[in-house]
DNA sequence: TGTGTTTTGTGAATTGTTTCACATTATATC
DNA sequence: GATATAATGTGAAACAATTCACAAAACACA
């Protein structure tokens, strides 16, 4: 396993989410073993890329035998630090805060040490400042503002307007279909 | 202005969102003119990158004079096709659907031709199939499932679990502070 | 009007990511 | 067990994105 480079990990990490989503679905369907091309078919990521990503995270399979679904899921859980103990804070139990329907599940299953900000725009920075005082190092921000934080704090913004406008942009500049390729912000489906 | 390449546009487009967020804030504060380094300070993107991005989208400023805030915002509106007429559909007026607090504003201001899916996981594919039958080419999907769509349909997934786990990952693998750099999925703050 | 300074805009160099190509290994079959 | 086959895993090549470096333009001020 190579030394992680920030960029490589960032891209492959996002794909790992995708692989896992497929794997849990496949597991429910009773599938026990997958090949790189299985995941390729399901996600649209090339099988080369699947293997390269696995290699990146030190995930190995069996030559000729493919990968064991349970084992893969397990290794991914470890990547996401599901097995460690953390704390989570949700600030703002308004419409959005209460709508996070799977939150309890998330808290129970993943137990993280980050904060979710779902307060009105105007209070977001103030709340952030308090959180940082109390040692929070990771924030998911639903308020449509750019939070000021020290450099060691990770902020992940979820902004519906931006998501929407991305889609508009792509729909309008109808970039011709090339199969499922760009999984970064957007992706295109394949099979139908 | 160069011919758009898919990748270049994708990355720079995301940064354009960021610039615009800053610009509208700066405008409120009465700022009328910005330089590439102003936006760099505000967003953490290098000033080189800011200019390169602008160049990519055919946005030009004044040598020595910087950029006019109003003009920049206006050009960005055009990039996002705010000035065109469209239709928008929201499917699922449950907790999440009703929590999209700025939705009316979005519909009024942006008028798009995409669908927002906020129905339970189990119904998401079925709803998607119907939407595609009726000609929808862009979807924002809040259900935590990978939708199957034809290759010419743009899908943008918003998945809280994934966002959360990204943050956990980065907090854990405490990638040492290098200022605000990665704006892709995550970004780090600068000033405090 | 000329000179110095600041800032843009963009090719070139560098750095990062994906794809290719193939050696390696596991399994199935005879 | 020998052979054919199917899959992984990974350097090397190709491609894409970012950073560098600097020419060109605009402005300030004498
Ligand atoms: N990014 C997105 O996709 C998206 C979607 C919907 C809403 N939003 C944003 O999420 C935020 C919340 O939206 P909402 O509809 O739930 O709003 P809301 O007004 O229904 O709820 C806000 C809640 O925050 C609480 N609050 C206010 N100030 C607080 C403080 N200083 N500390 C703790 N709690 C505080 C309020 O009591 C309230 O319960 C808003 O900023 C909204 O713009 C974002
Ligand atoms: N991705 C995220 O960040 C995030 C956050 C919260 C919730 N969610 C997801 O968003 C979805 C909605 O969450 P929610 O809390 O609002 O759920 P909800 O149960 O409160 O609301 C679902 C709504 O969809 C409607 N619906 C069901 N089937 C439909 C159909 N075939 N056509 C039209 N409408 C239909 C229901 O009547 C209901 O009003 C879920 O899939 C949930 O997992 C995602």
CATH of the domain at A60: 1.10.10.10
In a domain, B2, yes or no: no
Cross-strand bridge partners of residue B89: B115
What are the angstrom distances between the C-alpha of B107 and each of A164, B102, B113, B116? 10, 9, 10, 11
Contact criterion met (CB < 8 Å) for B168 and A114: yes
In a domain, A6, yes or no: no
User: Do residues B72 and B96 both lie within one domain?
Assistant: no
pLDDT given for residue A9 in this prediction:
56
pLDDT given for residue B56 in this prediction:
92
User: Do residues B93 and B127 both lie within one domain?
Assistant: yes
- Which of these, A73, A82, A86, A81, lies nearest to A16 by C-alpha position? A73
User: Do residues B42 and B107 both lie within one domain?
Assistant: no
> What is the rounded distance in angstroms from the CA atom of residue A87 to the CA atom of residue A20?
23
Tens digits of per-residue pLDDT, B119-164? 988 999 998 888 888 777 888 888 888 888 887 888 888 887 788 7
The pairing of strands B187-188 and A154-157 is antiparallel
- B191 vs A56, residue with greater confidence: A56
Tens digits of per-residue pLDDT, A135-165? 778 888 888 888 888 878 888 888 877 887 8
pLDDT given for residue B71 in this prediction:
96
pLDDT above 70 covers a percentage of chain A that reads 74
Residue B152 with chain A: CB contacts under 8 Å:
174, 177, 188
Q: Which of the listed residues A59, A79, A99 is the one where a domain comes to its end? A: A79
pLDDT above 70 covers a percentage of chain B that reads 74
The nucleotide whose C1' lies nearest the CA of A34 is: D7
Decide: B115 in ligand 2 pocket, CB within 6 A.
Answer: no
In a domain, A4, yes or no: no
In a domain, B1, yes or no: no
User: Do residues A74 and A114 both lie within one domain?
Assistant: no
Asked whether residue B2's C-beta has any atom of DNA/RNA strand D within 7 A, the reply is no
In a domain, B171, yes or no: yes
Mutating to test ligand 2, I would choose from B92, B97, B99, B161 the residue with most ligand atoms within 8 A of its C-beta, which is B92
Q: Say if residue B187's pLDDT is above 70.
A: no
Beta carbons within 10 angstroms of residue A129's beta carbon: 13
Tens digits of per-residue pLDDT, A65-77? 999 999 999 999 8
User: Do residues B191 and B153 both lie within one domain?
Assistant: no
Contact criterion met (CB < 8 Å) for B158 and A153: no
Over residues A173-188, mean pLDDT? 42
In a domain, A2, yes or no: no
The pairing of strands B88-91 and B114-117 is parallel
Q: Where are the beta strands (DSSP E) in chain A?
A: 33-34, 67-68, 88-91, 114-117, 138-141, 154-157, 187-188
In a domain, B23, yes or no: yes
User: Cα(B3) to centroid of ligand 2, in Å?
Assistant: 40
pLDDT given for residue A54 in this prediction:
96
Task: For residue B31, name the pLDDT band (cuts at 50, 70, 90).
Answer: very high
Q: Say if residue A83's pLDDT is above 70.
A: no
Identify the burial level of B73 via C-beta atoms within 10 angstroms of its C-beta, where 0-12 means exposed, 13-18 middle and 19 or more buried.
Answer: middle
Tally of domains within chain A: 3
State the Rg of chain A over Cα.
19
Can you give the residue range of the structural domain that contains A48? 11-79
Over residues B13-23, mean pLDDT? 90
Residue-wise over B145-180: b if at least 16 C-beta within 10 A, else e?
Answer: bbbbbebebbbbbbbbbbbbbbbbbbbbeebeeeeb
pLDDT, chain A, mean: 77
pLDDT given for residue A87 in this prediction:
63
User: Do residues A96 and A137 both lie within one domain?
Assistant: yes
Decide: A101 in ligand 2 pocket, CB within 6 A.
Answer: yes
User: Do residues A94 and A151 both lie within one domain?
Assistant: yes
DSSP codes of every residue in B38-88 = HHHHHH---HHHHHHHHHHTT---BTTTBEEHHHHHHHHHHHTTTTS---E
The answer to whether the CB of B183 falls within 8 A of the CB of B15 is yes
Q: Say if residue A103's pLDDT is above 60.
A: no
Tens digits of per-residue pLDDT, B77-127? 888 876 665 566 677 777 777 776 755 555 445 444 678 898 988 999 998
Dihedral Cα A38, A39, A44, A45, nearest 10 deg: -120
In angstroms, the first-to-last Cα distance of chain A is 37
CATH code for the domain in which residue A136 is found: 3.40.50.720
> What is the rounded distance in angstroms from the CA atom of residue A105 to the CA atom of residue A84?
16
Model pTM score: 0.79
User: Do residues A65 and A98 both lie within one domain?
Assistant: no
The spacing between the Cα labelled CA in B7 and the C1' in C20, in angstroms, equals: 20
What are the angstrom distances between the C-alpha of B190 and each of A123, A125, A147, A151, B37? 19, 14, 9, 5, 14
pLDDT above 90 covers a percentage of chain A that reads 31
pLDDT, chain B, mean: 77
User: Do residues A33 and A65 both lie within one domain?
Assistant: yes
Ligand having the closest approach to the CA of A21: 2
The answer to whether the CB of B182 falls within 8 A of the CB of A151 is no
Decide: A173 in ligand 2 pocket, CB within 6 A.
Answer: no
User: Do residues B175 and B151 both lie within one domain?
Assistant: no
Q: Which of the listed residues A44, A79, A114 is the one where a domain comes to its end? A: A79
In a domain, A5, yes or no: no
pLDDT given for residue B83 in this prediction:
63
Cross-strand bridge partners of residue A157: A141
User: Cα(A116) to centroid of ligand 1, in Å?
Assistant: 11
User: Do residues A153 and A179 both lie within one domain?
Assistant: no
How many A×B Cβ pairs under 8 Å?
242
Here the tokens at position B37 are 């380094």
User: Do residues A89 and A74 both lie within one domain?
Assistant: no
Contact criterion met (CB < 8 Å) for B156 and A98: no
Cross-strand bridge partners of residue B58: none
Q: Which nucleotides of D are covered by protein (CB under 7 A)?
A: 5-11, 16-21, 24-27
């Amino acid at each position: 396993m190579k030394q992680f480079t920030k960029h490589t990990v960032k891209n492959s990490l996002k794909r790992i989410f995708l692989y896992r989503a497929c794997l849990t679905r496949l597991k429910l369907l009773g599938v026990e073993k997958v090949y790189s091309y299985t995941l390729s078919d399901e996600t649209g990521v090339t099988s080369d890329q699947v293997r390269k990503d696995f290699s990146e995270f030190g995930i190995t399979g069996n030559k000729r035998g493919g990968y064991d679904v349970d084992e893969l899921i397990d290794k991914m859980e470890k990547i996401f630090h599901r097995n460690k103990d953390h704390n989570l804070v949700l600030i703002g139990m308004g419409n959005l805060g209460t709508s996070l329907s799977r939150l309890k599940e998330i808290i129970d299953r993943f137990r993280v040490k980050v904060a979710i900000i779902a307060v009105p725009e105007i209070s977001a920075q103030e709340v952030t400042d308090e959180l940082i005082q109390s040692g929070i190092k990771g924030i998911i921000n639903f308020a449509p503002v750019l939070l000021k934080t020290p450099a060691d704090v990770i902020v992940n913004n979820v902004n519906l307007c931006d998501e929407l406008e991305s889609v508009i942009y792509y729909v309008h500049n109808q970039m011709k279909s090339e199969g499922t390729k760009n999984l970064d912000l957007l992706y295109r489906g394949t099979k139908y």
